Amino acid sequence: MSDPSAASIVSTPPAEAPNEIGAPTNAGLPENARKEKPRGLLGDAWRDLRRKPLFWISAAFIVLFLLMTAFPSLFTSGDPENGNLQNSLVGPSSEAWFGYDFQGRDVFARVIHGTRASIVVSLLSVLGVLLFGGAMGIVAGYRGGWVDALLSRIADIFFGLPFVLGAIVILTTFNGSGTSNSKAEIMGLVSISLIVLGWPVVMRLMRSSVLATKEADYIVAARALGAGTGRIILKHLLPNCLAPLLVYGTILVGSYIGAEATLSFLGVGLKSPVVSWGIMINEAQSLIRVAPYLLFFPAGFLVTAVLSFVMLGEAVREALDPKLR
């Protein structure tokens, strides 16, 4: 649910590579749907990617962050939620690498455990944005006419809302000070508000690539052979429109990690029993003169995570874009 989205971008091409060469003629059979992807492009892209150090560095960081998400106890045995007030604001030492915060909680343990909230929320939101926006884009592009006009106007409405402002309004409405949402509910709400505000971009992206491929000869041929709408969309349209979405999605994971932290920092996103980088930076804000390390460690992790995904996205884009080769 949470981890494979980013990893699959990295790992699918090699897994597919041998099959592609072996069975190009079976492409029409239902069980070979995955092989219908623009295999030349993906294969080329993978060969291109493998030679890039930037790709390997960012992929290594992402794997590390995914490990922290899944098994935080591999990296730290500290308690992220309960602290000892005796240690309040004790600086970094060999015992606690990143020092202790105001409540005497181990900052290293908190930073490691905070990975989960950021990564899960951003991956969930990106998944939602891609699925919902992509579906809307396919419907709008393929149907055309009044459906397209209506969906485009609806997308315009959500696109017209400034991002941070819209997210704050939505979150204070459903996640205000009086509500008592559980951990999972808060994370779900933050994801939903990111999805609500983010889908129009994906829809426009998908719509334009569907419009560009809709009239291609192989689609016309498929229709002439009697393929139904569902089959044309799933087997022919989708695999050929996926590349720009893949790139956008990877970069979006990075920017959503930043967005989630911004919302938590403003006090409307994740709230205190949840451990997250944004909350930690928010707490460090008032202590910046006394204990700047409280700001730097979570901010450093945040920046590294965002950069890894953005760099991976850039590398994938360069590999997928034949013009840049």
Residue 154 near other proteins by CB under 8 A: yes
Quick note: the x/- pattern for other proteins over 161-190, rule CB under 8 A, is xx-xx--xxx-xxx-xxx------------
For residue 251, the minimal CB distance to other proteins (Å) is 9
Nearest to other proteins of 243, 284 (CB atom): 284
User: Is 311 an interacting residue with respect to other proteins (CB under 8 A)?
Assistant: yes
Q: Which two tokens stand for residue 287?
A: 């202590």
Q: Does 192 bind other proteins (CB under 8 A)?
A: no
Q: Verify binding: residue 323, other proteins, rule CB under 8 A.
A: no
Q: How far is the CB of 144 from other proteins (least distance, A)?
A: 18
Residue 106, SS3?
strand
Instruction: Decide if residue 318 touches other proteins (CB under 8 A).
Output: no
User: What gap in Å lies between CA 318 and CA 96, rounded to an integer?
Assistant: 41
Q: Contact region for other proteins (CB under 8 A) — 17-25, 59-67, 225-233, 300-308? A: 300-308
With beta carbons less than 8 A apart as the criterion, state whether 255 and 261 touch: no
Contact segment (CB under 8 A) with other proteins among 76-84, 87-95, 97-105, 310-318 equals 310-318
DSSP string, 42-98: HHHHHHHHHT-HHHHHHHHHHHHHHHHHH-GGGT--S-SS---GGGTT----SSSTT
From the list 243, 236, 240, 239, the residue with the least C-alpha distance to 219 is 236
* Alpha carbons 147 and 136: distance in angstroms, whole number: 10
- Phi and psi dihedrals of 106, rounded to 5? -70, 115
Q: Which of 64, 192, 234, 295 binds other proteins (CB under 8 A)?
A: 295
Distance, in Å, from the CA atom of 24 to the CA atom of 45, rounded to the nearest integer, reads 18
Q: Is 157 in the site for other proteins (CB under 8 A)?
A: yes
Q: Residue 272 gets which letter from DSSP?
A: T
Surface-to-core class of residue 295, CB atoms within 10 Å of its CB (0-12 exposed, 13-18 middle, 19+ buried)? middle
Stated as kind and residue range, the H or E segment containing 21 is helix 4-22
Report the site for other proteins in 234-253 (rule: CB under 8 A).
none
Binding mask 3-42 for other proteins (x = CB under 8 A): ----------------------------------------
Given 258, 269, 274, 291, the residue binding other proteins (CB under 8 A): 258
- Give residues in contact with other proteins (CB under 8 A): 153-154, 156-158, 160-162, 164-165, 168-170, 172-174, 176-178, 254, 258-259, 261-262, 265-267, 281, 285, 288-289, 292, 295, 299, 302-303, 306-307, 310-311, 314
